[in-house]
Amino acid sequence: MLSIKNLQAKIGEKQILQGIDLQINAGEVHAIMGPNGSGKSTLASVLSGREEYEVTEGEVDFLGKNLLELSPEDRAREGIFMAFQYPVEIPGVSTINFMKTALNQIRTYRGQQALDAVSFLGLMKEKMKLVEIDQSLLNRSLNEGFSGGEKKRNEVFQMAMLEPKLSILDETDSGLDIDALRIVANGVNKLRSQNNATIVVTHYQRLLDYIVPDFVHVLYKGRIVKSGTKELALELEAKGYDWIKNEVAAV
């Protein structure tokens, strides 16, 4: 589904991604872990098309298309979704309103008919249940005055609405208490299928008790320095990141 080869990217003069290789197939869940500042959010941003980041080397193929050539909106329409680490607040734009526009522009792109108001509402109700989110929240200005947990839940709600092929969850667990974490993880798990894939970015193993990954990668200083299965996450939890840092330093 997604094939990343030697991806390098910088922001301003600062080189952040130093050559990333990653292969993700349909049905898989990949966890990307690593200490703060290692480039996890940068990778997520580059994949979703944020313009501040300049790709200096490498290729990204998504379902046979050169992802790096597509605009952010076309990437979303092709099936990429990023749940933001820091969702922005947009005064005056409600989640419901912009989701309707988003969904219908995606449908038009795919040659499907726009949803009428009734079908949209039906779909919305169904997805609201999935992430246990209240409609009053969705009527309000996007993320304005939302708690940390409400923002993250709203991200997962949007993901549920758009039914992406590849979801990238950037620290969706940060700022969540254990109940909120369970709800968010539960939503993500219900959306998992053999046809889609998920990248879970986190630096705690805690989330991975709920969203069980097939593979775990450790990102450090812009490189994937270690890959393994879910046991790697437990090992990291036990030993801390210094273990990885020392290993890298020794090479």
Partner 1 sequence: MNVATKRDLVSELAASRTRSYSPADQALREDALTYLKNTGLPISKTEEYRFAPVTRILEKNFDSLTLSSQVNTVVSVNEFLIEGLKGNIIVFVNGSYAPALSKIVSNPDQIIIKPLSKALVENEEVVSALLNQKEDYKKDPFSAVNTGLWSEGLFFHVAKHTEVKEPVYLLSLNDASSAVSVHTRIVGWVEEGSEVTLIERFETTGHEAAFHTQVEEISVAKEAVLNYYKIQNDPGKSIQVCNTLIHQSDHSHVNTFTLTMNGEVVRNNFSIAIDGEHCESHFHGLYLLTGNTLADNHTVVDHIKPNSFSNELYKGVMDGHSKGVFNGKIYVRPQAQMTNAFQSNRNVLLSETSTINTKPQLEIWADDVKCSHGCTTGQLDEEALFYLQSRGINKDSARAMLLYAFASDVIATIKDETLKTYFDQLIAERLHKNF
Ligand X SMILES: Nc1ncnc2c1ncn2[C@@H]1O[C@H](COP(=O)(O)OP(=O)(O)O)[C@@H](O)[C@H]1O
Instruction: Tell me whether residue 121 or residue 248 sits nearer to ligand X (CB atom).
Output: 248
Q: What is the rounded distance in angstroms from the CA atom of residue 22 to the CA atom of residue 167?
A: 15
Q: Answer whether 134's CB lies under 8 Å from 126's CB.
A: no
Q: Answer whether 37's CB lies under 8 Å from 91's CB.
A: no
Instruction: Tell me whether residue 85 or residue 205 sits nearer to Mg ion (CB atom).
Output: 85
Q: What is the rounded distance in angstroms from the CA atom of residue 27 to the CA atom of residue 166?
A: 10
Q: Answer whether 240's CB lies under 8 Å from 34's CB.
A: no
Which entry of ligand X, Mg ion, partner 1, none binds 38, CB below 5 to 8 A by partner kind?
ligand X
Helix or strand holding residue 225 (H, E): strand 223-228
First-to-last alpha carbon distance for the chain, in angstroms, is 32
Instruction: Tell me whether residue 191 or residue 208 sits nearer to partner 1 (CB atom).
Output: 191
Q: What is the rounded distance in angstroms from the CA atom of residue 113 to the CA atom of residue 111?
A: 7
> Which of 8, 41, 196, 198 touches Mg ion (CB under 5 A)?
41
Pairing of strands 53-62, 215-220: unpaired
Binding mask 26-55 for ligand X (x = CB under 6 A): --------x-xxxxxxx---------x---
Instruction: Tell me whether residue 182 or residue 206 sits nearer to ligand X (CB atom).
Output: 206
> Which of 9, 16, 166, 168 touches ligand X (CB under 6 A)?
16
Which entry of Mg ion, ligand X, partner 1, none binds 168, CB below 5 to 8 A by partner kind?
none
Rule CB under 6 A: say whether 11 interacts with ligand X. yes
3-class SS at 92?
strand
CB of 37 to Mg ion, least distance (A): 8
CB of 123 to ligand X, least distance (A): 32
Applying CB under 8 A, which residues contact partner 1?
48-51, 71-73, 75-77, 81-82, 84, 87-88, 90-93, 97-103, 105-106, 109, 141, 158, 162
Give, as ranges, the residues between 75 and 114 that touch Mg ion (CB under 5 A): 85
Q: What is the rounded distance in angstroms from the CA atom of residue 191 to the CA atom of residue 110?
A: 20
